[in-house]
């Protein structure tokens, strides 16, 4: 639901400005935190399979590293913009802070559609990206990871090119790598599972039995799949999944009122999270418009796709039955929609808390790589559960004490920690 007037960077800044005023931050700290410290834009020439040369635009933004090296994904998306990357880098700063890991915020991207690129072309794109930015990233400065339409293979190509350039082995430079090549067990599940860990805690606080709840989810990428998996395992029912159709590249909502079957949807999906519409129909799914996911009569809405999905128009379509919105995606809710959600007293678990499981496990991967000692999967997920539960408890306790909206409470904790680091370093 992208609109020409929507600018994620302005949204991120307005969210920050609101909390900065509440915290009464001095002007120097505000100016440091409301914009990126560094940003890079560059071109990446790639020789395509047909022999022609195509030039792609790449980005890397480092919002703040007062609490530690910048951390953030690299996404492939045909609609990528520098303002999107700026916003995401800022949200990463708050995300690392709210779960209290010693990292700052960064983000990267390439304007491309990997659906239309061969694996060789994608490899050249990854290697070209790091060649342009190698002097400005590294295991003690800026640590990338996968994001939208990128995966462990892309990260390994980037790592290999980086190590070739700098001359050495630096597995802690990048996270989200394949297991056996420096990747962490549990990393694939981490973001989606983290979403459900905090949802579980919210339901406990609200005295809602998870086993009797229903959910509608937007997205069928990595986050949505594992959130769906754990939600169902804990007894919940997912009745609708919204994502792209492989054939006509249009978004649809796939609904079964008695609950979707995750395994069968996985069997008819591609690696980018698209579902084959015709095969889904054959399996008994209702095929609804792409935005129908938000209209479902469910207890939980879980946006796990892109930003700006719950906005001024779509928020009006949310069913009166909805009790909780847990934001698996980054920036899915606009400020205008937030006001409506507040008025309706829907409990929100904000994005930079809800989906922080990914960066938390990335931090675990970095620690394991740097120590050259790797943990078993159960240990990784146990540590992740502990970290997410603790972060939720801190935010909810503040929200309860100060009668704050959950998003405002999360921002208050996150911004306060980063502002303190800025002051302690003597930057302002």
In a domain, 50, yes or no: yes
In a domain, 379, yes or no: no
Pair (202, 298) in one structural domain: yes
Residue 244: give its domain's CATH number: 3.40.50.720
Pair (140, 200) in one structural domain: no
Pair (156, 194) in one structural domain: no
Whole-number Å distance between alpha carbons of 364 and 187: 9
Q: Which of 300, 294, 329, 295 is nearest to 209 (CA)?
A: 300
> Which pLDDT does position 176 carry in this prediction?
94
Q: Quick one: average pLDDT of 3-24?
A: 88
- The pairing of strands 53-64 and 38-47 is antiparallel
Answer for the pair 82, 337: CB distance below 8 angstroms, yes or no. no
Whole-number Å distance between alpha carbons of 374 and 367: 9
In a domain, 368, yes or no: no
In a domain, 225, yes or no: yes
In a domain, 124, yes or no: yes
Tokens, residue 426: 């003597």
Q: Which residues form the domain of 343?
A: 188-349
- The pairing of strands 237-244 and 214-218 is parallel
Pair (61, 192) in one structural domain: no
Pair (154, 197) in one structural domain: no
In a domain, 323, yes or no: yes
Q: Quick one: average pLDDT of 238-243?
A: 96
Task: For the full predicted model, state whether its pTM sits above 0.85.
Answer: yes
Q: Which of 356, 344, 337 is nearest to 394 (CA)?
A: 356
Pair (200, 342) in one structural domain: yes
- The pairing of strands 53-64 and 104-111 is antiparallel
Type and span of the H or E element at 140: none
Q: Could you tell me how many residues make up the chain?
A: 428
Whole-number Å distance between alpha carbons of 288 and 427: 52
Q: Count of CB atoms within 10 A of residue 168's CB?
A: 9
Structure-derived torsion over alpha carbons of residues 179, 180, 181, 186, reported in degrees to the nearest 10: 20
H-helix segments, 76-221 = 82-98, 119-133, 152-166, 187-206
> Could you tell me which residues are beta bridge partners of residue 53?
47
Domain edge (last residue) among 349, 370, 390? 349
Domain edge (last residue) among 322, 349, 376? 349
Residue 48: give its domain's CATH number: 3.40.50.10860
- Which tens digits make up the pLDDT trace of 311-341? 999 999 999 999 999 999 988 999 899 999 9
> Which pLDDT does position 187 carry in this prediction?
93
Residue 283, Ramachandran bin (φ over 0: left; ψ between -120 and 50: alpha; else beta):
alpha
Pair (212, 141) in one structural domain: no
Pair (194, 293) in one structural domain: yes
The pLDDT confidence band at residue 184, using thresholds 50, 70 and 90, is very high
Active-site residues, by number, are 107
In a domain, 390, yes or no: no
Tokens, residue 349: 């678990």
Q: Count of CB atoms within 10 A of residue 206's CB?
A: 10
Whole-number Å distance between alpha carbons of 44 and 126: 9
- Which tens digits make up the pLDDT trace of 357-412? 999 999 999 999 999 999 999 999 999 999 999 999 999 999 999 999 999 999 99
Q: How far apart are the first and last CA of the chain?
A: 39
Lowest mean pLDDT among 234-238, 244-248, 342-346: 244-248
Tokens, residue 322: 């909805």
Q: What interhelical angle do 187-206 and 222-233 show, nearest 10?
A: 50
> Which pLDDT does position 247 carry in this prediction?
67
Q: Which of 356, 311, 325 is nearest to 217 (CA)?
A: 325
Whole-number Å distance between alpha carbons of 417 and 261: 42
Pair (328, 420) in one structural domain: no
- Which tens digits make up the pLDDT trace of 84-110? 999 999 999 999 999 999 999 999 999
Answer for the pair 175, 73: CB distance below 8 angstroms, yes or no. no
Pair (196, 324) in one structural domain: yes
Whether the predicted pLDDT of 153 surpasses 50: yes
In a domain, 364, yes or no: no
CA distances from 323 to 113, 300, 320, 347, 424 (A): 36, 6, 8, 6, 41
Domain edge (last residue) among 349, 378, 405? 349
Pair (81, 201) in one structural domain: no
Q: Count of CB atoms within 10 A of residue 213's CB?
A: 20
Whole-number Å distance between alpha carbons of 83 and 305: 18
Give how many domains the chain has, as a whole number. 2
Judge residue 248's burial from the number of C-beta atoms within 10 Å of its C-beta, 0-12 exposed, 13-18 middle, 19 or more buried: exposed
Answer for the pair 361, 379: CB distance below 8 angstroms, yes or no. no
| Helix/strand/coil for 168 | coil
Pair (159, 200) in one structural domain: no
Q: Count of CB atoms within 10 A of residue 68's CB?
A: 17
């Amino acid at each position: 639901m992208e609109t020409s007037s929507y600018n994620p960077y302005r949204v991120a800044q307005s969210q920050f400005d609101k909390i900065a005023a509440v915290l009464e931050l001095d002007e120097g700290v505000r100016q440091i935190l409301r914009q990126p410290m560094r940003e890079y834009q560059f071109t990446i020439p790639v020789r395509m399979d047909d022999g022609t040369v195509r030039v792609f635009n790449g980005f890397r933004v480092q919002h703040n590293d007062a609490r530690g090296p910048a951390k953030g994904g690299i996404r492939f998306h045909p609609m990528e913009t520098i303002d999107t990357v700026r916003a995401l880098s800022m949200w990463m700063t708050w995300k690392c802070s709210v779960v209290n890991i010693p990292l700052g915020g960064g983000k990267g991207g390439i304007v491309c559609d990997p659906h239309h690129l061969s694996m060789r072309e994608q490899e050249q794109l990854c290697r070209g990206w790091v060649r342009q930015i190698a002097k400005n990233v590294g295991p003690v400065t800026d640590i990338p990871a996968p994001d939208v339409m990128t995966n462990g293979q892309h990260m390994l190509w980037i790592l290999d090119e980086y190590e070739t350039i700098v001359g050495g082995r630096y597995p802690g430079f990048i996270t989200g790598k394949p297991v056996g090549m420096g990747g962490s067990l549990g990393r694939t599940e981490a973001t989606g599972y983290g979403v459900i860990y905090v949802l579980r805690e919210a339901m406990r606080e609200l005295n809602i039995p998870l086993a009797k709840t229903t959910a509608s989810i937007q997205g069928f990428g990595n986050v949505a799949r594992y959130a769906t998996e754990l939600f169902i395992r804990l007894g919940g029912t997912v009745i609708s999944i919204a994502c792209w159709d492989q054939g006509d590249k249009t978004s649809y909502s796939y609904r079964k009122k008695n609950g979707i079957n995750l395994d069968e949807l996985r069997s008819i999906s591609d690696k980018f999270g698209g579902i084959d519409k015709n095969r889904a129909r054959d399996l008994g799914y209702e095929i609804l418009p792409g935005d129908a996911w938000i209209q479902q009569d469910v207890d939980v809405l879980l946006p796990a796709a892109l930003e700006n999905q719950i906005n001024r128009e779509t928020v009006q379509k949310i069913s009166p039955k909805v009790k909780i919105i847990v934001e698996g995606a980054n920036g899915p809710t606009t400020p205008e929609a937030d006001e409506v959600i507040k008025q309706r007293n829907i409990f929100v678990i904000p994005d930079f808390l809800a989906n922080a499981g990914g960066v938390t496990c990335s931090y675990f991967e970095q620690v394991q790589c740097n120590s050259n000692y790797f943990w078993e999967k159960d240990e990784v997920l146990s540590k992740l559960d502990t970290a997410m539960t603790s972060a939720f408890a801190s935010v909810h306790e503040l929200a309860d004490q100060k009668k704050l909206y959950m998003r405002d409470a999360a921002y208050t904790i996150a911004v306060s920690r980063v502002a303190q680091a800025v002051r302690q370093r003597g930057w302002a």
